[in-house]
């Protein structure tokens, strides 16, 4: 073994005796880059991704079953390797490329080494934007929470092209008509803010990309992403109580105890 180098992303790269290099990450991922331009990436769950010098790729699970290198789904025995995507991490992160579907996002996540910089913390999903929560902070906490709820559903529905979310229905025995009206207005403001941000050119495309990639990373479960958005948005609005005690339902809109 040769010298060990610590990279900017926290990984370490070690030179091997045969001229290849092994890069290791804290999450258990490792990649061996060979002198012929090919590489082998091994993930913590046992999957192995082989990338060849001509750009083709093969992916196998821990049991050796062949998977589609873009979607991660099992391949038929004679399915040829798929060429690597021309889309770069920068394209996704800056909004230069717009991810159209969750299926496409799953294909991108299959090339995990390309997107590790922003699929980890959900805070990264909201990093490129600034939430306009100042107007909500002046509201009563339960009314403010409905604005945050509308914002989160607006982001999730918008990223999945599911249309504008509906105000949740349910018993309001403890709420006055005035409070219900205030909650509806707050919810509508939240959904509007989400729609504005998703429609904001390249910034909006980058936001949509991050939400879809994060969802694909969480086993294509929109509910999981929705509640990560909810917790982060509540904390951003200084509503830690709601972040800890309540969760959002899916696909119907609503709030329930966590």
> Model confidence over 133-169: pLDDT tens digits?
454 455 577 888 898 999 999 999 999 999 899 998 7
Q: How many helices (H) and strands (E) does the chain have?
A: 9, 11
30 and 108 in a single domain? The answer is no
Domain end marker among 84, 118, 150:
84
248 and 168 in a single domain? The answer is yes
What's the pLDDT at 125?
55
What's the pLDDT at 77?
47
On the 0-12 / 13-18 / 19+ scale of CB atoms within 10 A, 131 is middle
11 and 42 in a single domain? The answer is yes
The whole-angstrom distance between residue 149's C-alpha and the CA centroid of its chain comes to 18
Angle formed at CA 217 by CA 99 and CA 67, multiple of 5 degrees:
90
Of 116, 61, 73, nearest to 93 (Cα)?
A: 116
78 and 175 in a single domain? The answer is no
Distance CA 117, CA 28 (A): 15
pLDDT band at 79 (very low <50, low <70, confident <90, very high): very low
Distance CA 198, CA 205 (A): 7
Distance CA 207, CA 193 (A): 13
Distance CA 141, CA 147 (A): 10
Is the predicted pLDDT of residue 127 greater than 60, yes or no? no
Q: What is the mean pLDDT of residues 99-120?
A: 69
135 and 55 in a single domain? The answer is no
Number of structural domains (the chain) is 2
How many residues appear in the chain?
258
What percent of the chain is predicted at pLDDT more than 70? 79
Domain end marker among 54, 84, 114:
84
Higher pLDDT, 113 or 245: 245
76 and 128 in a single domain? The answer is no
Domain end marker among 84, 116, 134:
84
What's the pLDDT at 50?
84
Domain that holds residue 185: 92-257
CATH number of residue 52's parent domain:
2.60.450.20
143 and 191 in a single domain? The answer is yes
**CB-based contacts of 187: which residues, under 8 Å, 6+ apart?**
146, 147, 149, 150, 167, 168
Distance CA 18, CA 183 (A): 66
239 and 149 in a single domain? The answer is yes
78 and 107 in a single domain? The answer is no
240 and 134 in a single domain? The answer is yes
Tokens of 78: 């004679």
Asked if 183 and 146 count as a contact pair (C-beta separation under 8 A), the reply is yes
Is the predicted pLDDT of residue 213 greater than 90, yes or no? no
């Amino acid at each position: 073994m040769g010298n060990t180098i610590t990279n900017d992303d926290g990984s370490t790269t070690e030179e091997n005796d045969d001229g290849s290099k092994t890069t290791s990450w804290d999450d258990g991922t490792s990649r061996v880059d060979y002198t012929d331009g090919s590489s082998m990436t091994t993930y913590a769950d046992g999957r192995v991704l082989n990338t060849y010098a001509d750009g083709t790729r093969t992916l196998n699970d821990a049991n050796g079953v062949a998977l589609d290198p873009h979607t991660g789904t099992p391949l038929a025995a004679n399915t040829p390797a798929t060429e690597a995507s021309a889309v770069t991490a920068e394209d996704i992160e800056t909004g230069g490329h717009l991810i159209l579907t969750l299926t496409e996002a799953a294909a991108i996540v299959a090339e995990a080494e390309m997107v590790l910089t922003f699929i980890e913390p959900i805070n990264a999903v909201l990093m490129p934007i600034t939430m306009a929560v100042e107007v909500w902070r002046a509201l009563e906490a339960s009314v403010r929470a409905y604005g945050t709820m509308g914002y989160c559903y607006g982001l999730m529905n918008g990223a999945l092209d599911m249309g504008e979310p509906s105000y949740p229905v349910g018993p309001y025995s403890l709420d006055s008509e005035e409070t219900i009206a205030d909650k509806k207005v707050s919810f509508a403001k939240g959904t509007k803010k989400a729609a504005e941000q998703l429609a904001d050119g390249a910034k909006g495309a980058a936001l949509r990309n991050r939400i879809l990639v994060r969802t694909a990373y969480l086993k294509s479960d929109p509910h999981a992403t929705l509640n990560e958005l909810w917790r982060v948005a509540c904390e951003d609005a200084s509503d830690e109580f709601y972040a800890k005690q309540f969760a959002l339902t899916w696909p119907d809109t609503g709030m329930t105890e966590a």
